[in-house]
Amino acid sequence: MPASNHAILQIRGLSKRFGDFTALNDVDLEIAPGEIFALLGPNGAGKTTLIGCVTGLARSFEGSIKVGGHDVVKEPKLARQLIGLVPQELNYDGFFTTRETLIYQASYFGVPFKSPVHDELLRDFSLLEKSEDNSRYLSGGMKRRLMICKALAHRPAILFLDEPTAGVDVDLRDKLWDYIRDLRDAGVTIVLTTHYLEEAEQLADRIGVIDQGRLVEIDSNAGLRRKYGASHHVLELSRTLSNAEAEALAAHDAIAEAEANRVVMVTGATGGRRLSAVLERIGTLPDCQVAHVETVRRSIEAIFKSIVAENRAAGDSEHPLKPDVTAPSVSTELQQKGLEKLNEVRTQAKKNRGIYGTYGLFRREISRFLSMFMGSILSPVLTTVLWFLVFGYSLGDRLKEIEGVPYADFLVPGLIIMSVVMNAFMNSGFSFLLNKIHGSITDLLASPLSPLQITFAYIASASVRGLCIGSTIWLVATLMGASTLANPPLTLLMILLASASFGALGLCVGILATGFEQVNLLPNFIILPLTFLGGVFYSIKMLPPPWDTVAMFNPLLYLVSELRYAMTGYADVPAGAGFFGGLLFLIFGTIFSYILLKTGYRVRD
């Protein structure tokens, strides 16, 4: 395929394998600015995999892909900023309203929270009345429309629609078709995959047929009909043919069948097989005229099936079918609009450093936390009250004090650390896992946010959540009679550090996990037991050998001890050990989370 300096999408030698299975096999493709390109293929042909490679959802592949001249591997931020993606599978985040879902998704691309584009899109897609409804309660068609809104919120230069009208009614389908045409008229390049051949006929400038990972044909609708769309002319004659006459007519290379008073001829695919030549031959027969002619046009579906069949027949041979590629036939005016749109979006993309998007993800996670008030705030407060009543008052009357610190005051730092680390871990882990289960992780991975920015947003939100929980527990304990705040700055720092470090650990587990039971495993069977050997309820100096030595290997001990030092002035381990230990734990968790997101392990295909 000849190279084009103006192609908005350029794919060279693209191959993608999953183990021994080849999903894409040496695909070459160029799409012009302003073009609508339809990709047809049976299930498992490689359509969605191809889109995943372009949009950043695939972990690795062979070959090169450039969007607007930007390599998707070397310049992922710029390339993804140019792209809007509507994935095949419905995805939503059930914690947010329709409007919030759109706002947070748009923020990843640098769109302000109060941009008028949100209401414009909701109005265009008849979702404005549902804007304050939770997205989980939208119908399937409304969720599909919301996904299109999310893809268009940053005004992309090229839009990928993977089965855009799947599951929608006819009226909505027609409206979407009109909207797609309007987008193209505004300069947006569109790539769509579809099983509806009528959709490709109605919308596409060119149609690409992909089968068994190979792109086997690219041409316009009219071009495909010229190549494969042989028409059948059925001629009804004024009398019945004799056997000799039928055999003589059937010898003509344009006639497929001749019997009784009926002649079937094929035309269109071979050029020289003209109807006039057949009529002339029939005219030589005595007392025989053509009474009626019926033309049966071959459907695009039949053409598609024949191309696939031809490819599979040639697939096992030594000379597999090579794709026949026709250059784009987009008008100069549309291509110019497409280039102008590309330059406009590229200019905006270069200004987006991802800071606003990072804040958007951070704000989304905080909103998720606040939406679960009972589990996020009230539950740890009630748990703290119970612990305080059982241990603070019951044991406090017996122990009075530990190392000169009133037992009620001694207990508070341990209760704060216990609640903070459990909630930071569970919130980060479950939040990321829910994104994977609901499919909304696609929106995040296809955005310009880097793995480091995603990691930072999750850890920062875990820190703020921990600070909220820790402050609330301290306030409740104070109201119940405790009086502990010797060093407020260090207290604040240690709560943030404990939250961040276990938030990073939760993020790692959320990335690796495939089910909720895996996220529950660590807090229930490791973190919670460690709290009882971490100096939460007593000083480790009270433990008999060898448990006092074993406790020294418990990372929670150092966090509890450092916070207790900040709040009461007493520590079981040297002051500073907990701070530096927590810092190392945070660094390890951050690096590991970043590596997992960077490599796409358990996240990208």
Residue type, 422: M
Q: Residue 449's pLDDT band (boundaries 50, 70, 90)?
A: very high
Average pLDDT over residues 317-323: 53
Average pLDDT over residues 293-305: 74
Average pLDDT over residues 387-415: 78
Q: Between 317 and 74, where is the model more confident?
A: 74
Residue 395: its pLDDT value, please? 65
Cα→Cα distances 216→4, 200, 226, 309, 471, Å: 20, 16, 16, 11, 63
372 HSE (CA, 13 A, CB side): 18
Residue range 240-272, pLDDT digits in tens: 998 888 888 888 767 878 888 888 887 654 433
Residue 375: its pLDDT value, please? 66
Residue range 530-568, pLDDT digits in tens: 888 888 888 888 888 888 888 999 999 999 999 999 999
Residue 548: its pLDDT value, please? 86
Enter the tokens of residue 495.
């709560």
CA 586 to chain centre: 28
Q: Are 33 and 58 in contact (CB under 8 A)?
A: no
Residue type, 423: N
Residue range 178-217, pLDDT digits in tens: 999 999 999 999 999 987 777 888 899 999 989 889 998 8
Q: In the chain, what percentage of residues exceed pLDDT 70?
A: 92
What single-letter DSSP state applies at residue 134?
A: B
Q: Residue 400's pLDDT band (boundaries 50, 70, 90)?
A: confident
Residue type, 307: I
Cα→Cα distances 434→311, 418, 431, 557, Å: 41, 24, 5, 31
Average pLDDT over residues 435-463: 94
Q: What is the 3-state secondary structure (H, E, C) of 329-352?
A: CCCHHHHHHHHHHHHHHHHHHHHC
- Could you tell me how many residues make up the chain? 605
Residue 343: its pLDDT value, please? 93
How do the domains of the chain map onto residue ranges? 230-297, 363-599
Pick the CATH number of 230-297 from 3.30.70, 3.40.50, 3.30.1370, 1.10.150: 3.30.70
DSSP codes of every residue in 173-189? HHHHHHHHHHHHHTT-E
Residue range 493-506, pLDDT digits in tens: 999 999 999 999 99
10 Å CB burial of residue 283 (0-12, 13-18, 19+) is exposed
Residue 460: its pLDDT value, please? 96
Residue given tokens 């104070």 in the structure block: 478
Cα→Cα distances 562→221, 275, 476, 494, Å: 72, 94, 21, 7
Long-range pairs for 325-332 at CB < 8 Å and ≥24 separation? 325/1, 325/28, 325/218, 325/219, 326/206, 326/218, 326/219, 326/220, 326/223, 328/30, 328/31, 328/32, 328/35, 328/205, 328/206, 329/205, 329/206, 329/220, 330/32, 330/33, 330/34, 330/35, 330/205, 331/34
Average pLDDT over residues 274-286: 80
Q: Give the H or E element holding residue 156.
A: none
Q: Residue 397's pLDDT band (boundaries 50, 70, 90)?
A: low
Coil, strand, or helix at residue 263?
strand
pTM of the shown model: 0.85
Coil, strand, or helix at residue 126?
coil
